[in-house]
């Protein structure tokens, strides 16, 4: 079963692993969305992504970093 938009923490952990050099506080939402869609385990409808979803992922990423 793949990652979904609502899996904020799991998505953030995958991003942290894939982009360890990135400061998540400086990531643009456009880039964040693209990076999530590029994750191998991600399997959700791109249309289900909104600003609140991206904010939640970004906050989890910041907390884990």
Predicted model pTM = 0.95
Whether 12 contacts 57, CB under 8 Å? yes
Q: What is the pLDDT of residue 21?
A: 97
How wide is the angle at C-alpha 16 spanned by C-alphas 19 and 38, nearest 5°? 60
* Position 9 pLDDT exceeds 90: yes
Share of the chain above pLDDT 70, in %: 100
Domain ranges of the chain: 8-64
Helix orientation angle between 29-38 and 51-64, rounded to the nearest 10 degrees: 80
Whether 52 contacts 6, CB under 8 Å? no
pLDDT band of 14, cuts 50, 70, 90: very high
In this structure, whether the domain defined by 8-64 belongs to CATH 1.10.10.600 is answered with yes
Q: What is the pLDDT of residue 1?
A: 75
40: number of Cβ within 10 Å = 9
Average of per-residue pLDDT across 24-40: 98
């Amino acid at each position: 079963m793949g990652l979904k938009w609502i899996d904020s923490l799991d998505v953030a952990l995958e991003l942290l692993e894939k982009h360890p050099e990135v400061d998540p506080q400086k990531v643009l939402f456009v880039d964040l969305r693209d990076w999530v869609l590029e994750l191998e385990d991600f399997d959700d409808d791109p249309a289900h992504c909104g600003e609140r979803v991206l904010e939640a992922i970004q906050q989890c990423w910041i907390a884990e970093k």
